[in-house]
Amino acid sequence: MADVDINIEESPFEASPVAPETFDENHVIKFRCYKGIECFNACCSSIDITLTPYDILRLKQRLGMTSTEFLKQYTIPFEFNKGSIAGVKLLPREGSTACQFMTEEGCSVYEDRPTACRYYPVGLLSLRRADENFDRASWALVKEDHCKGHQEEREITIKDYREEQGLEEYDEHGHPWRQLVLKMKSAGPAIGQPSLASRRLFFMACYDLDRFREFVRSEGFQGTFKLSEAELNELYEDDMALMKFSDRFVRQVMFGEESIPRHDDALEKHLKRRQEVQRLREELGEEDAADS
Ligand code: SF4
Ligand code: SF4
């Protein structure tokens, strides 16, 4: 990758310290991790794990909670850039740097562990060339002193390691969000900083699926967007369908990539509603009615 003019966008996965060298999936690494290795659980004792929307979906289903409950109990938000969109990280145990899911036996949510946990010690980097508008995947090896897995003799290609860790599915479902984040981070002055309302919409649609579902049920949403009963029922019942739809929704409201049909009179209704809210506020004597 070093021979092309690459404008490196930071990966959503801040896999620091990442060796500067990046590899393709045929690169062979020497690594093995297993229960009983002397450093067992060391990596889960000091975490910095960014979650994708699919990670959250899997974990909230595993734990039998709503996304809202999951976000509150297990995550902490952060901004990718100052004043820009937010991401969420796993929240460590109170007063500690250890993951809340770590037990003496290992990870208590192993089958549904997040993408970054599956990848470790490989770091996924999304790169975008200056002359292209899509990202390319590339990988780097994270070598930290506490991780003794690098001293094991097993050799494995990154491709096989990804397969072993069940990453193809996670990458497939995480890719649209990763692209969105890159797009947002590289948009610059052309798009400008998203408004607070846009950032809130992004957060809800990407991370808080159950709240987004309530939004989809709302009169405001259904008065604007034209979806069939069958489409709506799927969104009410199927988290995966809702997650895919949320990507379309964010692209439409934040980047003008129209894919969800609107009612012909949606704009007219919206303006009428705003006028009504404004009128009510004026009647109530509120001076600042602009933010309706
Ligand atoms: S989710 Fe599991 S694998 Fe990931 S940091 Fe927590 S305990 Fe470790
Ligand atoms: S070998 Fe590395 S990844 Fe495995 S438990 Fe030890 S520190 Fe964690």
In a shared domain, residues 178 and 261: no
**CA atoms of 67 and 64, how far apart (whole Å):** 9
Cα dist. 95→51, 86, 90, 102, 105 in Å? 21, 24, 14, 15, 21
Is 264 among the domain residues? yes
In a shared domain, residues 66 and 119: yes
In a shared domain, residues 169 and 244: no
pLDDT at 192: 67
Is 159 among the domain residues? yes
Q: What is the mean pLDDT of the chain?
A: 86
The whole-model pTM stands at: 0.85
Is 285 among the domain residues? no
Last-in-domain residue among 186, 218, 243: 186
**Ligand 1 centroid, distance to 130 Cα (angstroms):** 35
**Ligand 1 centroid, distance to 213 Cα (angstroms):** 28
Q: Which atom of ligand 2 is nearest to the CA of 148?
A: 1
In a shared domain, residues 39 and 176: yes
Is 283 among the domain residues? no
**Ligand 1 centroid, distance to 126 Cα (angstroms):** 22
> Atom 2, ligand 2: which residue's CA is nearest?
147
Contact between 48 and 33 (Cβ < 8 Å): no
Is 116 among the domain residues? yes
Is 36 among the domain residues? yes
- Determine the residue of 34, 47, 63, 146 to mutate for testing ligand 1's pocket, defined as the one with the most ligand atoms within 8 A of the Cβ atom: 47
Is 281 among the domain residues? no
Q: Which atom of ligand 1 is nearest to the CA of 49?
A: 5
Is 121 among the domain residues? yes
pLDDT at 185: 76
Check pocket membership of 120 for ligand 2, CB cut-off 6 A.
yes
227 exposed, middle or buried (CB, 10 Å; 0-12, 13-18, 19+)? middle
Instruction: Check residue 282 and report its DSSP letter.
Output: H
Q: Which atom of ligand 1 is nearest to the CA of 103?
A: 7
The two tokens of residue 190 are 């052309």
Residue with tokens 């009179």: 265
- Determine the residue of 29, 30, 31, 33 to mutate for testing ligand 2's pocket, defined as the one with the most ligand atoms within 8 A of the Cβ atom: 33
In a shared domain, residues 179 and 202: no
Q: 11-50 burial, b if ≥16 CB within 10 A, otherwise e?
A: bbbbbeebeeebbeeebebebebeeeeeeebebbeebebb
**CA atoms of 263 and 63, how far apart (whole Å):** 38
Number of domains comprising the chain:
2
Which residues, other chains included, contact 208 with Cβ-Cβ below 8 Å and sequence gap of 6+? Answer: 67, 68, 71
Q: Which of 120, 190, 202 is closest to 162 using CA atoms?
A: 120
Q: 54-83 burial, b if ≥16 CB within 10 A, otherwise e?
A: bbbbbbbebbebebbebbeebbeeeebeee
In a shared domain, residues 32 and 141: yes
Range of the domain at 247: 193-273
In a shared domain, residues 94 and 212: no
pLDDT digits 0-9 by tens, 225-277: 999 999 999 999 999 999 999 999 999 998 899 999 999 876 677 677 677 76
**Ligand 2 centroid, distance to 145 Cα (angstroms):** 10
- For residues 20 and 15, the model is more confident at 20
In a shared domain, residues 172 and 200: no
